[in-house]
């Protein structure tokens, strides 16, 4: 029974990491943009969703979707005004600017909401338990597993099987040729950035029960998001999903069985995985 509980908890945790990190996988792996401020959009999504639910009586899903739309819009604006001038400046300039954006977001959220983590805004239908036969299990965590699986399926068809995904990969590999073929590369990059930021906002909103929202959120979980991207393989959608689930299961197992060594166990395994598979678990064909 304990093994099944660890498995479910690890998958639920991994799905939250996946929803937030998959946008970073796209921007870092496909668009070649080092966006360390990605977690700021997830944090903003959590705060916006809480405000919509508590002060405007928005439903839980509605609040999360509104947060995703706002984060996507802000991400598109940031791509046009901040990120686009950095595309040809190199990784160091991108790292410095986006890391600075983290501290701006921390200061802004502290000023507006204070330093105390916001309380979970769970609806009653997510507060109960579901009888799984072998035990009862929190409805909220099952909800995260289902939503994560549905998003993974939808993103797979968009990124791997659609014309949009093919055009995006072509624009990254050879933007000059893509433009010659009539592809609007700038618009494609902006839409992709909007989608990644919207996913981060949505993940931050629905995942607040596992990753609590507070002003240092973007900095506290930055390494976890980067681990998912790097361990999975830069630009690999399937790798991002596999890495997120692996991180969720490893950390959850450590907390249950080795509570004093849980975090150490995760980083030890990450270190070993990077030595064994330096390009990630499921790297793109061009990197393997």
Q: What is the pLDDT of residues 56-108, one digit of tens each?
A: 999 999 999 999 999 999 999 998 998 888 877 878 899 999 999 999 999 99
pLDDT digits (tens, 9 = 90+) for 120-154: 778 889 999 998 887 889 999 999 999 999 999 99
Q: What's the confidence (pLDDT) of residue 1?
A: 73
Mode of pairing for the β-strands spanning 129-131 and 136-138: antiparallel
Which of 19-33, 110-124, 145-159, 177-191 shows the lowest per-residue confidence on average (mean pLDDT)? 19-33
- How much is the pLDDT for 278? 86
pLDDT at 209 over 80: yes
> For a pLDDT cut of 70, what percent of the chain falls above it?
97
Confidence of residue 195 (pLDDT cuts 50, 70, 90): very high
Average pLDDT over the chain reads 89
pLDDT of residue 29: 67
Domain coordinates of the chain in residue numbers? 2-115+138-276
Residue 168 has pLDDT above 90, yes or no: no
> How sure is the predictor about 25, in pLDDT bands with cuts at 50, 70 and 90?
confident
Residue 256 has pLDDT above 60, yes or no: yes
């Amino acid at each position: 029974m304990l093994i099944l509980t660890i498995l479910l908890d690890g998958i639920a945790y991994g799905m939250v990491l996946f929803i937030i990190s998959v946008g970073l996988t796209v921007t870092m792996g496909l668009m070649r943009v080092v966006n360390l401020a990605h977690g700021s959009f997830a944090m903003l999504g959590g705060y916006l969703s809480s405000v919509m639910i508590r002060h405007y009586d928005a439903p839980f899903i509605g609040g999360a979707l509104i947060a995703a739309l706002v984060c996507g819009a802000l991400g598109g604006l940031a791509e046009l005004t901040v990120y686009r001038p950095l595309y040809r400046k190199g990784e160091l300039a991108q790292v410095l600017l986006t890391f600075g954006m983290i501290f701006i977001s921390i200061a802004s959220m502290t000023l507006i909401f204070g330093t105390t983590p916001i309380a979970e805004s769970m609806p009653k239908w997510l507060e109960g338990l579901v009888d799984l036969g072998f035990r009862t299990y929190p409805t909220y965590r099952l909800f995260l597993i289902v939503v994560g699986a549905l998003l993974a399926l939808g993103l797979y068809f968009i990124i791997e099987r659609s014309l949009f995904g093919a055009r995006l990969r072509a624009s990254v590999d050879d933007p000059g040729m893509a433009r010659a073929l009539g592809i609007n590369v700038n618009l494609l990059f902006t839409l992709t950035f909007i989608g990644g930021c919207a996913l981060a906002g949505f993940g931050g909103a629905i995942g607040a029960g596992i990753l609590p929202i507070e002003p240092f959120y973007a900095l506290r979980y930055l390494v976890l998001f980067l681990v998912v991207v790097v361990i999975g393989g830069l630009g690999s959608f399937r790798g991002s999903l596999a890495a997120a689930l692996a991180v969720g299961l490893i950390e959850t197992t450590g907390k249950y069985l080795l509570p004093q060594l849980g975090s150490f166990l995760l980083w030890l395994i990450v270190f070993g995985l990077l030595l064994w598979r330096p390009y990630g678990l499921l790297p793109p064909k061009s990197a393997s």
